[in-house]
Amino acid sequence: MSAPPARRRFLRPALRSASSRFAILGMALALALPAAAGPLRDRIEARRAAQAQGTEAPTDELNGDDGRPAGNAELPAGVVRIADVAYGPDPRQRFDVYRPARGEGAPVLVMVHGGAWRIGDKGARGVVANKVAHWVPRGFVFVSVNYRLLPQADPLQQASDVARALAAVQAKAAGWGGDPAKVALMGHSAGAHLAALLGAAPALAEKAGARPWLGTVSLDSAALDVERIMAARHYRFYDAAFGADPAYWRAVSPTQALVAGAPPLLLVCSSIRPDQPCAQAHDFARRAQALGVRAEVAEQARSHKQINEELGTPGDYTARVDAFLSSLDAAVAKRLELR
Protein backbone atom coordinates (compact mmCIF):
# COMPACT_ATOMS: atom_id res chain seq x y z
CA MET A 1 0.00 0.00 0.00
CA SER A 2 1.56 3.34 -1.01
CA ALA A 3 1.93 6.28 1.36
CA PRO A 4 -0.55 9.18 0.98
CA PRO A 5 0.75 12.27 -0.91
CA ALA A 6 1.37 14.34 2.20
CA ARG A 7 3.42 11.56 3.79
CA ARG A 8 5.41 11.05 0.57
CA ARG A 9 6.28 14.76 0.60
CA PHE A 10 7.53 14.36 4.17
CA LEU A 11 9.47 11.16 3.43
CA ARG A 12 11.42 12.43 0.42
CA PRO A 13 13.61 14.97 2.26
CA ALA A 14 14.01 12.53 5.14
CA LEU A 15 15.25 9.83 2.79
CA ARG A 16 17.60 12.27 1.10
CA SER A 17 18.90 13.30 4.51
CA ALA A 18 19.40 9.67 5.52
CA SER A 19 21.22 8.98 2.26
CA SER A 20 23.53 11.90 2.93
CA ARG A 21 24.22 10.68 6.45
CA PHE A 22 25.11 7.22 5.15
CA ALA A 23 27.44 8.74 2.55
CA ILE A 24 29.19 10.86 5.21
CA LEU A 25 29.44 7.82 7.51
CA GLY A 26 30.97 5.80 4.68
CA MET A 27 33.57 8.48 4.02
CA ALA A 28 34.41 8.68 7.72
CA LEU A 29 34.82 4.91 7.92
CA ALA A 30 37.09 4.96 4.88
CA LEU A 31 39.29 7.59 6.52
CA ALA A 32 39.34 5.64 9.77
CA LEU A 33 40.42 2.34 8.25
CA PRO A 34 43.65 1.07 9.81
CA ALA A 35 46.87 0.72 7.85
CA ALA A 36 46.31 -3.04 7.60
CA ALA A 37 43.25 -2.29 5.48
CA GLY A 38 45.31 -0.25 3.04
CA PRO A 39 44.21 -1.94 -0.22
CA LEU A 40 40.52 -1.61 0.70
CA ARG A 41 41.03 1.96 1.85
CA ASP A 42 42.83 2.83 -1.39
CA ARG A 43 40.02 1.34 -3.44
CA ILE A 44 37.40 3.31 -1.51
CA GLU A 45 39.51 6.44 -1.81
CA ALA A 46 39.82 6.02 -5.57
CA ARG A 47 36.10 5.70 -5.91
CA ARG A 48 35.38 8.58 -3.51
CA ALA A 49 37.79 10.83 -5.39
CA ALA A 50 36.07 10.04 -8.65
CA GLN A 51 32.69 10.80 -7.11
CA ALA A 52 34.00 14.08 -5.70
CA GLN A 53 35.01 15.09 -9.21
CA GLY A 54 31.50 14.32 -10.41
CA THR A 55 33.12 12.17 -13.03
CA GLU A 56 32.70 8.53 -12.25
CA ALA A 57 30.31 6.22 -10.46
CA PRO A 58 31.21 4.32 -7.30
CA THR A 59 31.40 0.70 -8.52
CA ASP A 60 32.57 -0.86 -11.76
CA GLU A 61 31.54 2.35 -13.46
CA LEU A 62 35.11 3.56 -13.00
CA ASN A 63 35.26 2.24 -16.56
CA GLY A 64 32.60 4.75 -17.51
CA ASP A 65 29.51 2.55 -17.36
CA ASP A 66 27.76 -0.01 -15.21
CA GLY A 67 30.44 -2.62 -15.80
CA ARG A 68 28.23 -5.00 -17.75
CA PRO A 69 29.95 -6.52 -20.77
CA ALA A 70 29.16 -5.65 -24.34
CA GLY A 71 28.20 -9.17 -25.35
CA ASN A 72 27.65 -10.57 -28.81
CA ALA A 73 23.92 -9.85 -28.64
CA GLU A 74 24.67 -6.10 -28.50
CA LEU A 75 27.13 -6.02 -31.39
CA PRO A 76 26.22 -4.12 -34.55
CA ALA A 77 25.36 -6.23 -37.58
CA GLY A 78 28.46 -7.44 -39.40
CA VAL A 79 30.75 -7.21 -36.34
CA VAL A 80 32.50 -10.37 -35.12
CA ARG A 81 33.93 -10.65 -31.59
CA ILE A 82 36.90 -12.88 -30.77
CA ALA A 83 37.13 -13.08 -26.98
CA ASP A 84 40.06 -13.57 -24.62
CA VAL A 85 43.00 -13.75 -26.98
CA ALA A 86 46.08 -14.46 -24.82
CA TYR A 87 49.20 -12.31 -25.05
CA GLY A 88 50.81 -13.67 -21.86
CA PRO A 89 50.37 -16.43 -19.25
CA ASP A 90 48.41 -14.44 -16.66
CA PRO A 91 44.59 -14.57 -16.84
CA ARG A 92 44.54 -10.76 -17.05
CA GLN A 93 46.82 -10.78 -20.10
CA ARG A 94 43.98 -11.10 -22.58
CA PHE A 95 42.28 -8.94 -25.16
CA ASP A 96 39.03 -9.01 -27.14
CA VAL A 97 38.97 -8.38 -30.89
CA TYR A 98 36.04 -6.78 -32.70
CA ARG A 99 36.41 -7.00 -36.45
CA PRO A 100 34.32 -6.63 -39.58
CA ALA A 101 32.88 -9.90 -40.82
CA ARG A 102 34.59 -9.27 -44.16
CA GLY A 103 37.48 -7.17 -45.37
CA GLU A 104 41.21 -6.86 -45.20
CA GLY A 105 43.85 -4.19 -44.71
CA ALA A 106 41.81 -2.71 -41.86
CA PRO A 107 43.32 -0.08 -39.53
CA VAL A 108 43.50 -1.30 -35.93
CA LEU A 109 42.57 0.61 -32.76
CA VAL A 110 43.98 -0.81 -29.51
CA MET A 111 42.00 0.37 -26.46
CA VAL A 112 43.25 0.32 -22.83
CA HIS A 113 40.57 0.60 -20.10
CA GLY A 114 40.83 2.75 -16.99
CA GLY A 115 40.05 2.12 -13.32
CA ALA A 116 42.68 3.82 -11.10
CA TRP A 117 45.25 1.12 -12.05
CA ARG A 118 43.33 -1.19 -9.70
CA ILE A 119 40.03 -2.22 -11.31
CA GLY A 120 38.36 -2.26 -14.73
CA ASP A 121 37.72 -4.64 -17.58
CA LYS A 122 38.14 -4.81 -21.33
CA GLY A 123 34.51 -5.81 -21.86
CA ALA A 124 32.78 -2.94 -20.05
CA ARG A 125 30.17 -1.29 -22.23
CA GLY A 126 31.52 2.21 -21.66
CA VAL A 127 34.91 1.05 -22.89
CA VAL A 128 33.61 -0.83 -25.92
CA ALA A 129 30.05 -0.23 -27.11
CA ASN A 130 30.03 3.17 -28.83
CA LYS A 131 33.59 2.82 -30.08
CA VAL A 132 32.89 -0.53 -31.73
CA ALA A 133 29.62 0.78 -33.19
CA HIS A 134 31.45 3.74 -34.73
CA TRP A 135 34.74 2.32 -35.98
CA VAL A 136 34.18 -1.34 -36.87
CA PRO A 137 31.41 -0.68 -39.43
CA ARG A 138 33.81 1.81 -41.01
CA GLY A 139 36.28 -0.97 -41.62
CA PHE A 140 38.42 -0.88 -38.46
CA VAL A 141 39.49 -3.68 -36.17
CA PHE A 142 38.97 -2.68 -32.52
CA VAL A 143 40.94 -4.45 -29.78
CA SER A 144 40.14 -3.98 -26.08
CA VAL A 145 42.95 -4.94 -23.70
CA ASN A 146 43.07 -6.22 -20.12
CA TYR A 147 46.28 -6.02 -18.11
CA ARG A 148 47.43 -6.97 -14.62
CA LEU A 149 46.23 -4.61 -11.91
CA LEU A 150 47.38 -3.29 -8.54
CA PRO A 151 48.59 -4.74 -6.28
CA GLN A 152 49.74 -7.57 -8.56
CA ALA A 153 51.46 -5.20 -11.00
CA ASP A 154 52.55 -1.57 -10.67
CA PRO A 155 51.93 0.97 -13.46
CA LEU A 156 55.32 0.38 -15.09
CA GLN A 157 54.57 -3.35 -15.25
CA GLN A 158 51.09 -2.54 -16.51
CA ALA A 159 52.62 -0.46 -19.31
CA SER A 160 54.78 -3.47 -20.14
CA ASP A 161 51.61 -5.58 -20.35
CA VAL A 162 50.03 -3.09 -22.75
CA ALA A 163 53.23 -3.12 -24.83
CA ARG A 164 53.09 -6.93 -24.99
CA ALA A 165 49.46 -6.72 -26.05
CA LEU A 166 50.38 -4.19 -28.74
CA ALA A 167 53.10 -6.49 -30.05
CA ALA A 168 50.66 -9.43 -30.10
CA VAL A 169 48.07 -7.36 -31.97
CA GLN A 170 50.65 -6.40 -34.58
CA ALA A 171 51.68 -10.05 -34.95
CA LYS A 172 48.09 -11.33 -35.29
CA ALA A 173 46.35 -8.44 -37.07
CA ALA A 174 46.53 -9.88 -40.57
CA GLY A 175 44.60 -12.93 -39.40
CA TRP A 176 41.68 -10.67 -38.48
CA GLY A 177 41.81 -8.71 -41.73
CA GLY A 178 43.85 -5.95 -40.07
CA ASP A 179 46.95 -4.12 -41.23
CA PRO A 180 49.76 -4.35 -38.63
CA ALA A 181 51.33 -1.20 -40.07
CA LYS A 182 48.19 0.85 -39.38
CA VAL A 183 47.75 0.52 -35.61
CA ALA A 184 46.79 3.34 -33.23
CA LEU A 185 46.91 3.11 -29.44
CA MET A 186 44.16 4.59 -27.26
CA GLY A 187 43.42 4.58 -23.53
CA HIS A 188 41.10 6.17 -20.98
CA SER A 189 41.96 7.40 -17.46
CA ALA A 190 44.59 5.05 -16.00
CA GLY A 191 44.67 3.41 -19.42
CA ALA A 192 45.29 6.84 -20.94
CA HIS A 193 48.29 7.22 -18.66
CA LEU A 194 49.65 3.84 -19.80
CA ALA A 195 49.04 4.63 -23.47
CA ALA A 196 50.61 8.07 -23.11
CA LEU A 197 53.65 6.61 -21.34
CA LEU A 198 54.26 4.17 -24.20
CA GLY A 199 53.55 6.89 -26.73
CA ALA A 200 55.99 9.27 -25.05
CA ALA A 201 58.73 6.65 -24.75
CA PRO A 202 58.20 4.05 -27.50
CA ALA A 203 61.41 2.23 -26.49
CA LEU A 204 59.34 0.81 -23.60
CA ALA A 205 57.07 -0.84 -26.16
CA GLU A 206 59.96 -1.93 -28.36
CA LYS A 207 61.39 -3.92 -25.43
CA ALA A 208 58.22 -6.01 -25.52
CA GLY A 209 58.53 -6.59 -29.24
CA ALA A 210 56.13 -3.90 -30.46
CA ARG A 211 56.89 -2.13 -33.71
CA PRO A 212 56.23 1.58 -34.38
CA TRP A 213 52.55 2.52 -34.48
CA LEU A 214 50.76 5.43 -36.13
CA GLY A 215 49.83 7.50 -33.09
CA THR A 216 48.39 7.59 -29.58
CA VAL A 217 45.10 8.96 -28.21
CA SER A 218 45.03 9.72 -24.48
CA LEU A 219 41.48 10.08 -23.16
CA ASP A 220 41.53 12.28 -20.06
CA SER A 221 44.61 11.27 -18.14
CA ALA A 222 45.27 13.37 -15.05
CA ALA A 223 48.63 11.60 -14.56
CA LEU A 224 50.74 12.94 -17.40
CA ASP A 225 53.16 14.61 -14.98
CA VAL A 226 53.40 12.12 -12.13
CA GLU A 227 56.27 13.89 -10.42
CA ARG A 228 54.27 17.12 -10.15
CA ILE A 229 51.20 15.27 -8.88
CA MET A 230 53.08 13.41 -6.16
CA ALA A 231 54.98 16.48 -4.95
CA ALA A 232 51.71 18.31 -4.24
CA ARG A 233 48.48 17.44 -2.43
CA HIS A 234 46.92 14.48 -4.21
CA TYR A 235 44.36 11.72 -3.90
CA ARG A 236 45.51 8.82 -1.74
CA PHE A 237 45.01 6.28 -4.51
CA TYR A 238 47.95 7.85 -6.36
CA ASP A 239 50.16 6.69 -3.47
CA ALA A 240 49.02 3.11 -4.06
CA ALA A 241 49.88 3.45 -7.73
CA PHE A 242 53.11 5.47 -7.65
CA GLY A 243 54.62 4.97 -4.20
CA ALA A 244 57.11 7.35 -2.56
CA ASP A 245 60.22 7.11 -4.75
CA PRO A 246 60.82 10.24 -6.89
CA ALA A 247 62.94 8.19 -9.30
CA TYR A 248 59.95 5.92 -9.92
CA TRP A 249 57.68 8.94 -10.39
CA ARG A 250 59.95 10.17 -13.16
CA ALA A 251 60.19 6.73 -14.76
CA VAL A 252 56.42 6.34 -14.95
CA SER A 253 55.65 9.96 -15.91
CA PRO A 254 54.82 10.50 -19.60
CA THR A 255 56.00 14.11 -19.39
CA GLN A 256 59.43 13.16 -18.06
CA ALA A 257 59.72 10.09 -20.30
CA LEU A 258 58.94 11.98 -23.52
CA VAL A 259 61.62 11.65 -26.20
CA ALA A 260 62.18 13.07 -29.66
CA GLY A 261 60.84 10.75 -32.33
CA ALA A 262 57.74 9.73 -30.38
CA PRO A 263 54.65 9.12 -32.54
CA PRO A 264 51.95 11.82 -32.71
CA LEU A 265 49.72 12.16 -29.66
CA LEU A 266 46.21 13.52 -29.18
CA LEU A 267 45.49 14.49 -25.57
CA VAL A 268 41.76 14.67 -24.90
CA CYS A 269 41.00 16.31 -21.55
CA SER A 270 37.97 17.31 -19.52
CA SER A 271 37.75 21.08 -19.09
CA ILE A 272 35.25 20.71 -16.23
CA ARG A 273 37.22 18.51 -13.83
CA PRO A 274 38.44 20.29 -10.69
CA ASP A 275 41.88 18.64 -10.85
CA GLN A 276 42.47 20.34 -14.23
CA PRO A 277 43.87 17.60 -16.46
CA CYS A 278 43.94 20.09 -19.34
CA ALA A 279 46.74 22.04 -17.64
CA GLN A 280 48.90 18.91 -17.66
CA ALA A 281 47.87 18.17 -21.26
CA HIS A 282 48.96 21.62 -22.45
CA ASP A 283 52.25 21.38 -20.54
CA PHE A 284 52.90 17.99 -22.11
CA ALA A 285 52.08 19.33 -25.58
CA ARG A 286 54.48 22.26 -25.17
CA ARG A 287 57.26 19.91 -24.08
CA ALA A 288 56.51 17.60 -27.01
CA GLN A 289 56.53 20.42 -29.54
CA ALA A 290 59.89 21.62 -28.21
CA LEU A 291 61.24 18.14 -29.00
CA GLY A 292 59.71 18.15 -32.46
CA VAL A 293 56.96 15.71 -31.49
CA ARG A 294 53.46 16.37 -32.73
CA ALA A 295 51.05 16.69 -29.80
CA GLU A 296 47.57 18.18 -29.84
CA VAL A 297 45.17 18.98 -27.01
CA ALA A 298 41.41 18.56 -27.41
CA GLU A 299 39.54 20.10 -24.49
CA GLN A 300 36.05 18.74 -23.91
CA ALA A 301 33.34 20.15 -21.65
CA ARG A 302 32.49 16.61 -20.63
CA SER A 303 32.95 14.59 -17.49
CA HIS A 304 35.64 11.95 -17.19
CA LYS A 305 33.00 9.26 -17.64
CA GLN A 306 31.46 10.96 -20.67
CA ILE A 307 34.83 11.26 -22.40
CA ASN A 308 35.04 7.49 -22.30
CA GLU A 309 31.53 6.34 -23.03
CA GLU A 310 30.49 9.04 -25.53
CA LEU A 311 33.43 8.56 -27.86
CA GLY A 312 31.95 7.06 -31.01
CA THR A 313 28.60 8.84 -30.75
CA PRO A 314 27.84 11.41 -33.48
CA GLY A 315 29.13 14.91 -32.81
CA ASP A 316 32.13 17.22 -32.66
CA TYR A 317 34.00 15.12 -30.08
CA THR A 318 34.11 11.93 -32.16
CA ALA A 319 34.81 14.02 -35.25
CA ARG A 320 37.84 15.56 -33.51
CA VAL A 321 39.30 12.14 -32.73
CA ASP A 322 38.53 10.97 -36.26
CA ALA A 323 40.32 14.00 -37.67
CA PHE A 324 43.44 13.12 -35.71
CA LEU A 325 43.31 9.49 -36.82
CA SER A 326 42.75 10.56 -40.42
CA SER A 327 45.81 12.78 -40.29
CA LEU A 328 48.02 9.79 -39.42
CA ASP A 329 47.53 7.80 -42.61
CA ALA A 330 45.78 8.23 -45.97
CA ALA A 331 44.22 4.76 -45.82
CA VAL A 332 42.79 5.52 -42.37
CA ALA A 333 41.38 8.78 -43.69
CA LYS A 334 39.69 6.96 -46.54
CA ARG A 335 37.94 4.58 -44.15
CA LEU A 336 36.65 7.52 -42.13
CA GLU A 337 35.16 9.20 -45.19
CA LEU A 338 32.45 6.52 -45.10
CA ARG A 339 29.34 7.85 -43.39
Q: Which residue has the higher pLDDT, 10 or 76?
A: 76
State the pLDDT at residue 47.
52
**Average confidence (pLDDT) over 224-234:** 94
**27 confidence band (pLDDT: 50, 70, 90):** very low
Q: Which residue has the higher pLDDT, 256 or 18?
A: 256
- Give CA–CA dist 14/78, Å, rounded: 51
- Give CA–CA dist 235/8, Å, rounded: 39
Q: Which of 75-79, 111-115, 248-252 has the lowest mean pLDDT?
A: 75-79
User: Residue 47, CB half-sphere, CA atoms under 13 Å: how many?
Assistant: 18
Q: What is the pLDDT of residues 273-319, one digit of tens each?
A: 988 899 999 999 999 999 999 999 999 999 999 999 999 999 999 99
Average of per-residue pLDDT values in the chain: 84
pTM, 2 dp: 0.82
State the pLDDT at residue 42.
45
Find the length of the chain. 339
Q: What is the pLDDT of residues 199-216, one digit of tens each?
A: 999 999 999 999 999 999
Residue 101 confidence (pLDDT) above 80: yes
Report the chain's terminal Cα–Cα distance, integer Å. Answer: 53
- Give CA–CA dist 267/193, Å, rounded: 10
